[in-house]
Every structure is written in structure tokens, then in C-alpha cells.
Structure 1
Amino acid sequence: MTNIERLLEQHFGYSTFRPGQKEVIEAVINKQDVIALLPTGMGKSLCYQLPGYILNKPILIISPLLSLMQDQVEQLKRFGEKRVVALNSFLQMTEKRNVLQHLQRYRFIFTSPEMLMNPHVQGAFSEIQFGLIVVDEAHCISQWGFDFRPDYLKITDWLDDTKRPPILALSATATEQVVKDMKNYLHMKEPFEYIHSVDRMNLHYDVVQLENTSEKMPWILEHVLKTSGPGIIYTQSRKKTAIYAEQLLVNGFRAAAYHAGMEAEDRQFIQQQFLTGHLEWICATNAFGMGVHKDDVRQIIHDHIPSTVANYMQEVGRAGRDGQEALSILLYAPNDEDMTKFIVTEDLPQQRHVEQFLAYTQQGERPTVMLDMNQISETGFRVLSYWMQNLTPEEVQQKLTAIRFSKVHQVDEMKELITSKKCIREQLLHYFGQTLKEKPAHCCNFCGLDVGVILKGRKQLEMKENIASWEGRLAALLPNL
């Protein structure tokens, strides 16, 4: 047994590495920048956790979501690690100040791209000798950086490239272009790349063609009544998450809605109930899922066309992490893509916003007045402000036009995936620049799929007769109280 394997067993209780872990960790220890693409459930977090005990310097992990940070912090604490902290909005001002004053005492420090933009945080971090900087879910640089969370494009700008530690970019999926964006915006130096196949042989794909959107609700209810969970139903609107959850509750399911408009504490509570098995189904927008480590999810159902193939791959990859059979179902009705295109472009700044921003600036007023007057959404202003600081107004117009075109094109790619009548698995691998070597039985509906073979029948749960009432719903969510 090598020294690195002894440390693995000592700190985490594992005797062997999963594919890719050892190669990535060895490259990190050798002070190389690394891009590691490992499928969901392959243990990406170990690739920075073990180096934390080898490098003997603080590890900075830049993470996209509060829930993901908290999950990783709790996981490390379960392994006995006490020198870990999440520097985020959950901390009170005094707590945040105390953490920044004593950074050197921590082995693992989690934070967000937005927190990194805080000058006080940057100042405190610049005084620390980090052993490694990790960008978790690094595909978000491309997925969110250009139009949703532009701070993702600046997360290493505060670093001195001549003195900085190695950078580790982790993700489950990334196209060749996304990998290029990682290298570019993270200022990586000839990174070592470990790219595992995105294929999951135990995951099967089904596309159900319906005549109109009104058929989706009854189809989902009938299907869920007959088949086994746990599962996630993804929909595009917050209102529909509640409608789906209510209908499932009425029909005897332990279910809950989840979306970004809910309070953070409520979202964490529902997520925990799902993880512990007290909820059978989550009805959610795409705000749910990243960093949720539940091994026995059997089904992912989409009632819409996801905005990109990459998003679809991320979402369906949350099923079957235990290696057992799992199913992804996408319901499609004619012109579904129009709604998705509207949603993905709705918050993008328009030409008039560029002109208004410029006018306020020239008049000596703060452009934030656009928000005060409800002339633009918060997301739209954040995107506009970023590009107006970096480009001329004419270049901003061109950039926004290019972003809009790219988003519409990505929806068209997703539509092609589900309507071409070609093997879905083969198309997915091709999208990520990989080649399919083997097809499992019941690969997808275009290759031949028997859902009954993949999914077991549902076990009936004992539910209260008044499940539709508030008391019944609360009892279903909190069976031990």
C-alpha cells in the first residue's frame, strides 16, 4: 500500500480509489493545474479533500450553491474534520469577521464567486498561502458566467498568477468549449486533464410524445402511481412545482415543491426530508439537484425541454447513483421549445437597457436607478453592468445578441436530441465529444425500451385520509413528530 492509499484509509476509511481519483490527486500534489471531469457519484470531492491532508495548507473551494457548501461541510465533519468553514451569507457579520481574522486555522474554506468579489474577503485571502484552489461544478463558468452570474468569469482575477497555488476545476460534464472556457477564465497553465466517459450504463432514456401540454399532468400522475420512486419531477415554473406537489399529496404521495423563490431554510428542510426518505417525490425547478447526494433516485421526469443538453445531462445524472437501474423520462408536446426559448432569453438585457444604462452614467446618476424604477430585472442588470464595465456600448450590443443566439441554438440542440429518433445515449456522448462503445439493454425509447423492466411497481405508503389538508401534509413531511 502506497503512502497516498494509507492516507486515504486513515482519513476516509476507503482502501481503494475510484477511477480517476488517484490520477487527479497525484497531479494536484505535483502542483499542476487540473481539469477533472468525473460523472456524478464518482467521488469528485475526494480529489480536493485528500490533498487537504497532504499539502498541509488551507484549501479554498469555490462553490456555486449554499446547499452544496453546507453539504460538503457536513460531509467533512462526519469524517471527523473540525477545521472546515463555509464563508457565505448564512454567517452573521460578527461570525464572518471572525472567520476572516482566523483563516489560517482552517483546512477547508468554502465560498462563492460573489463572496470572492468582496474586497475585504479578497484582502484576507491574499494574506493566506493556499495549498490548492478548487472550482467545484466548474461548468458553471460557461453555464452561468456570461448571462446569469458574471462573477464566475472573475473568480481568479484577484490571484497573482506568478505565486498562486494549483487550480483544480471539477465537473461531471463539459463540452470541449466549456473546457476551453475553464482554461481561459481560470488562467490555467497547461492543465492535466482527466476526462471520464459521461455514459451511465444503468441510466435509461425515454421520450414521451404528447399531443398537447394539458396531457402532461394526468400522464405524470398515472405513471407515478404505477412505478417506484424516489424521483424528481422537473418543471419550468414555480407555480407548477406547487401544483404537481399538491396533486401528488392528494393521491397519497409524500411530495413537496422546491424552487429558488422559497426561503433558504425551507429549501434545506425539504432537501433533507428527501435525502432521509421522508419525501418520495420532489417537484422542482432546476434550482434543485446540484450537490444533492441521494443514491437511490430511481426516476427523473421532465415536463419540458431543458435549456441545454448539458443541463439535461446534469439533471438526469442525479438518478441511479447507487448503480441500480434508473429512468429518465421527458414529456414533449409540439412547440414546447418556444416556452423554453422565452424563459432563457427573458432576463437578457435589451438594446433599450444599454441606452438607459449609458444615459444614467452620462448624467452622473448611478445606473442602479434602473432597478429602483423596475426598468430591468436584477439578473438582467447584473449581466448588463458586467459587460458595460468591460466593453463599449456597441460591443455590449454585439455580445448580448451573441448570447441570445447561443441560448436559442442550445434549445434547438436539445429539441434535436429528443425528436431526431436517433439513439439518445449515442447523441449525448457525441455532444460531449465522446464515442459510444456499448449499449445496455433497454437503452432508450428509440432503441427499444420496456419501462416495466427498468422500474418496479410502487409500494403503497400509508398516508392519512386528510392528506390534502395542511395537517395531513405536515404529518407526511414530519412523520416522526
Structure 2
Amino acid sequence: MLQQALQHYFGYASFRQGQEEVITQLLEGKDVVALLPTGTGKSLCYQLTGKIKGAPVLIISPLLSLMQDQVNQMKKMGFKRVIALNSFLTREQFTQALNQLPHYEFIFTSPEMLQNELVTNKLRAMPLGLIVIDEAHCISEWGHDFRPDYLRLQTRLNYYNRPPIVALTATATPAVIADIKYVLQMEHASTYIAAIDRKEIHLQRKWFTTAQEKVNWIEDYVSTTLGPGIIYTSSRKRAEQLAEVLRKWHITVAAYHGGVSNEDRQLIQEQFLANDIEWIIATSAFGMGVHKTNIRHIIHETMSPTLSSYMQEIGRAARDGQDALATVLCTQTDYDVLQFLMDTLPSEPMIKQYYAGADQPLRELDQRLLAYWHSMYRCDEAIHYRDELYLSKRRAFDATRNYMETSSCLRATLVQYFEQSVQVVDACCTNCGLQDASFKELRRITHLSAQTPHWTLRLQQMLLK
């Protein structure tokens, strides 16, 4: 039956890894947490389930840009009754969409929108067939830090006769999976965990003395190396600076971050997908849900704050199964950046003053977290909760630092963080014989030839001493 439905609705002859197992569980009415690698078609798990059940599907998505991209992709695939219920809508559009909500097959929205009583009451009155938490690792990685509305899903999705929930992600440690189940109150959910290792992504780590040396290396690398590629930076300012440097080489490059308008971000994404832009310089705001199969390079100008986010970001390469190279650039001062990114929680004195009702200047982030904690915990409980979160962030920081410094296999270090095993192979990473080479010859040869060489040949050229 499932094979026939797959062929009928999507024209595929067979399922990819994990899809059939997840869909089978959902059709049996079970909650599921599914860890499926990037590029294995996680979205088909809920699309086909929705078609078979013939009931509306609610998809909770972390980013507006991702949500809009998913809607556009589904419409291109022939799905007509798809909508994104988000802040992009005018008040008139929102009211109209809410009134017509039962007529849609797939409804995308955010955790914040579900705090609106009009929305949740409307959804609870509908015969939903499935609730989807897309990029479900955000519940654990973002909810405790700066988006407490993710944690409020615990109450918003807990109602009588709710449909099955499927939580989908490409990266999650066992602790994160347990947190997802706890927040969504699906402790007895079935769990499908695929191997997280991506052998086609080769790992490179390079150390420098100064930040300027990093810039020089990026300039040389990108000016002599064909993309497509993504360079991740730690700030909007840095993204713009690097983009400006690379434009001098007449390379098609764009900076992508939260300061870019929604319209421009959408345009940049579409141009990148169409190969009109070769390199994207981005903060972590870019990449989630970007369905580009031939990304060959991922460069981190500064290491990601956690190995989970690093795995997410490098996983955007090599979706076509061909080889790609992920490079992280390191200096001693990067630890200060990572420490700053880790120290985002309100302090104990701030918590005490907030509970005492005292006036104090607060960042918007602190205000959101303290308001949520105040609604959930006593003051001493909030302090204990904060301390536990700090210890968790400290462990994540130590794991990231270990990756930057270890002399062991980088692939093994990364995969073992997720408590999975890996078979180490020669030249899989810097510590296992992977050698950097000059790419000037590579780009010059490519321009002189009438045909771009296959990536396997290009990787072999990369690995030559």
C-alpha cells in the first residue's frame, strides 16, 4: 500500500532511508522522533502521511524564511492547499487565512504563533491528521536559551484526542532526543535514529595566529576555488566585511544574515539555488531547509558554538552524494567568541531582582527568559534551572574546544559526540592524512577547460601534496 501511494503521489519507485519506517509508525497512530540525515527526504514523511490520511497536517517550523521556502517548494511540487501562518501576513490576510484554515492540507506556523489563542483554538477544533515539529533539535537548543515559546509547546499541543506528533531532525544527541520527548510529552514515542556520519564530507581544520590570517586564507581559497560554497561567520558585520573582500575578485557572492530584509534574503536564496550566486557568506541564519544538492565547500570562519550546530551546518554540503570539504578556521581568540556566545543566560542576581519585582535594565532576551521562568518556577527553582543549563552549555563548549584541539580523527570525534560509532578511513580529515593544496591551479585549469571536471577528480587534486 505504501509503495503504491508513494508512486501515485510522488512518482518515486522506492523509499529512502527511514521514510517507510517512520510513515508506518505514524499511520498506526504512534508518536515518532526521527533522526534522518540531511538530504534523505524528511519532509516526505509528513507529506505522504498527510495524503494517505486525508486530513490537515500542522507543521511547526523554526524560521520564517524556512517556512516560506517549504511552502514554495510544495507548491512547485503540485500541492495547492498549502499556507504559512506567520507574521508576514497582514491583519486582513491573517483573518482570512484563519477562517479558511480547515480547507488547507498543510499548515506551516511557528511556536510563537501558537501562543495566539485564536490560532490554537482553531487548530484544536480541526480534525488534524498529524502534527510535525520540523528541525526538532531547536526545542532543546533554542527553547532553553532564547525562544521559550518552544517550551510552551508542552501545553499548546497537549489536548484531548490530539493526532500523532512526529519530531524530525538531522542531528540530535541522546540527551536532546530525551528533551524533545519530554517537552512534547511523548515519552513513549517510537524513535528512529539513522547513522549521522556523512563519509562524503571530508573534514579540515586549520590554525592561525591572527584573525587577519583567516581572512587572507579565505580570500586565497575562494578566489582560486570553484563553488558552490557557504562561509559561516559569527556576526553580521563579519559577513558583510568578507563579502566585500571577495567581491574584489569578481566572484558572485552575497552576505546573508538577520539584518538583510526578508525579500532580499529570499532573493539571495533563490539566486544561490539557481547557481547565479557562487558563494554565500552567512551567519547561522542561512541554510536550514535550503535544498541545494551540489554545495561543495563549507567554511567556518569561526567554529560553531556547539558540535550539534556544526554538524547541522556542514550537513548542507554534498546532498548529491559527491565529495565535499568542510573547513574550520581556528585562532586562540576564538575561545573568547565561543565563551561570549555561551554566556547568554540571566545571572543569579538578575533572577532574584526579577522575582522581587525590582526595576533593572534587561535585554529583550533576558526579559523573555525571566518571564517564562517566573511563570513556571519559584525563585530557587529558577536559579537551579539556570545553573543546570549553564553546566549543559559548559559541556557543549568543552566538546567544541576538544574538536578544535584534538589530535584524534575529527570525524570520530564529531560522530562520537552523538554517541554513535564510526569507521575511520584514510584521509577522511586533517588528522588522518587529509592535505590542503593550492587551488589556484584548480581554478585556472577549470577556466581553460571546456568542461568542469567531476568533483571526484577535483577532490583528488585537492588532496595532492
Listed one character per residue, the Cα deviations across residues 377-433 of structure 1 (whole Å, up to 9, x for unaligned) are 212211111111111122222222332332233122111012111101111221111
Q: Which residue in the other structure is 2:139 paired with?
A: 141
Query: Does 1:378 find its partner at 2:376?
Result: no
Query: Does 1:458 find its partner at 2:440?
Result: no
Q: 1:26 to 1:67 in 2, by over 3 A?
A: same
- Worse-superposed segment, 287-296 or 155-164: 155-164
Distance across 1 between alignment mates of 2:378 and 2:187: 29
Q: Percent identity?
A: 46
Distance across 2 between alignment mates of 1:326 and 1:259: 24
Distance across 2 between alignment mates of 1:455 and 1:251: 13
Q: 1:401 to 1:356 in 2, by over 3 A?
A: same
Q: Which residue in the other structure is 2:280 paired with?
A: 282
Partner residue of 2:121 out of 116, 120, 123: 123
Q: CA deviation at 1:438?
A: 5.2
Partner residue of 1:358 out of 355, 358, 365: 355
Q: 1:453 to 1:431 in 2, by over 3 A?
A: farther
Q: 1:123 to 1:454 in 2, by over 3 A?
A: farther
Q: CA deviation at 1:226?
A: 2.2
TM norm structure 2: 0.92
Q: Which residue in the other structure is 1:425 paired with?
A: 411
Partner residue of 1:410 out of 392, 396, 406: 396
Q: Which residue in the other structure is 1:77 paired with?
A: 75
Q: Which residue in the other structure is 2:340 paired with?
A: 342
Partner residue of 1:434 out of 398, 420, 430: 420
Q: CA deviation at 1:318?
A: 0.7
1:7-26 aligned within 5 A: 7-26=5-24
Give the secondary-structure state (helix, strand or coil) at the position aligned to 1:60.
strand
Give the secondary-structure state (helix, strand or coil) at the position aligned to 2:156.
coil
Q: CA deviation at 1:108?
A: 0.5
Specify the code of the residue in structure 2 equivalent to 1:7. Answer: A
Specify the code of the residue in structure 1 equivalent to 2:336. Answer: D
Distance across 2 between alignment mates of 1:206 and 1:404: 30
Partner residue of 2:38 out of 28, 40, 55: 40
Q: CA deviation at 1:459?
A: 6.5
Distance across 2 between alignment mates of 1:448 and 1:437: 15
Q: CA deviation at 1:154?
A: 1.7
Q: CA deviation at 1:452?
A: 5.0
Distance across 2 between alignment mates of 1:420 and 1:140: 27
**Does structure 1 conserve the Cα–Cα contact (< 8 Å) formed by 2:221 and 2:439?**
no
Q: Which residue in the other structure is 2:452 paired with?
A: none
Listed one character per residue, the Cα deviations across residues 246-300 of structure 1 (whole Å, up to 9, x for unaligned) are 0000112111111112222222121121111111111111111111111111111
Give the secondary-structure state (helix, strand or coil) at the position aligned to 1:218.
helix
Q: Which residue in the other structure is 1:449 paired with?
A: 434
Distance across 1 between alignment mates of 2:8 and 2:438: 41
**Does structure 2 conserve the Cα–Cα contact (< 8 Å) formed by 1:306 and 1:411?**
no
Distance across 2 between alignment mates of 1:241 and 1:454: 23
Quote the RMSD (CA, aligned, Å): 2.0
TM norm structure 1: 0.89
Q: CA deviation at 1:451?
A: 4.1
**Does structure 2 conserve the Cα–Cα contact (< 8 Å) formed by 1:307 and 1:407?**
no
1:325-336 aligned within 5 A: 325-336=323-334
1:8-407 aligned within 5 A: 8-345=6-343, 347-360=344-357, 375-407=361-393
Q: 1:393 to 1:41 in 2, by over 3 A?
A: same
Q: 1:229 to 1:388 in 2, by over 3 A?
A: same
**Does structure 1 conserve the Cα–Cα contact (< 8 Å) formed by 2:234 and 2:302?**
yes
Distance across 2 between alignment mates of 1:267 and 1:87: 19
Q: Which residue in the other structure is 1:474 paired with?
A: none
Q: Which residue in the other structure is 1:466 paired with?
A: none
Give the secondary-structure state (helix, strand or coil) at the position aligned to 1:313.
helix
Q: 1:411 to 1:62 in 2, by over 3 A?
A: same
Q: CA deviation at 1:132?
A: 0.6
Distance across 2 between alignment mates of 1:134 and 1:309: 25
Gaps of 5+ in 2: 448-465
**Does structure 2 conserve the Cα–Cα contact (< 8 Å) formed by 1:256 and 1:283?**
yes
**Does structure 1 conserve the Cα–Cα contact (< 8 Å) formed by 2:412 and 2:424?**
no
Q: 1:46 to 1:453 in 2, by over 3 A?
A: farther
**Does structure 1 conserve the Cα–Cα contact (< 8 Å) formed by 2:223 and 2:246?**
no
Gaps of 5+ in 1: 362-368, 463-481
Q: CA deviation at 1:324?
A: 1.0
Listed one character per residue, the Cα deviations across residues 12-43 of structure 1 (whole Å, up to 9, x for unaligned) are 12111101111111111111111110000000
Distance across 1 between alignment mates of 2:115 and 2:208: 46
Q: CA deviation at 1:359?
A: 4.0
Give the secondary-structure state (helix, strand or coil) at the position aligned to 1:45.
helix
Q: 1:91 to 1:409 in 2, by over 3 A?
A: same
Listed one character per residue, the Cα deviations across residues 173-196 of structure 1 (whole Å, up to 9, x for unaligned) are 110001101111111152121111
- Worse-superposed segment, 451-460 or 138-147: 451-460
Distance across 2 between alignment mates of 1:460 and 1:152: 50
Q: CA deviation at 1:155?
A: 1.5
Distance across 2 between alignment mates of 1:312 and 1:30: 35
Q: 1:162 to 1:387 in 2, by over 3 A?
A: same
**Does structure 1 conserve the Cα–Cα contact (< 8 Å) formed by 2:157 and 2:184?**
no
**Does structure 1 conserve the Cα–Cα contact (< 8 Å) formed by 2:224 and 2:439?**
no
Specify the code of the residue in structure 1 equivalent to 2:348. Answer: Q
Give the secondary-structure state (helix, strand or coil) at the position aligned to 1:337.
helix
**Does structure 2 conserve the Cα–Cα contact (< 8 Å) formed by 1:83 and 1:108?**
yes
Listed one character per residue, the Cα deviations across residues 198-257 of structure 1 (whole Å, up to 9, x for unaligned) are 111110000001122221100111111222211111111111100000000011211111
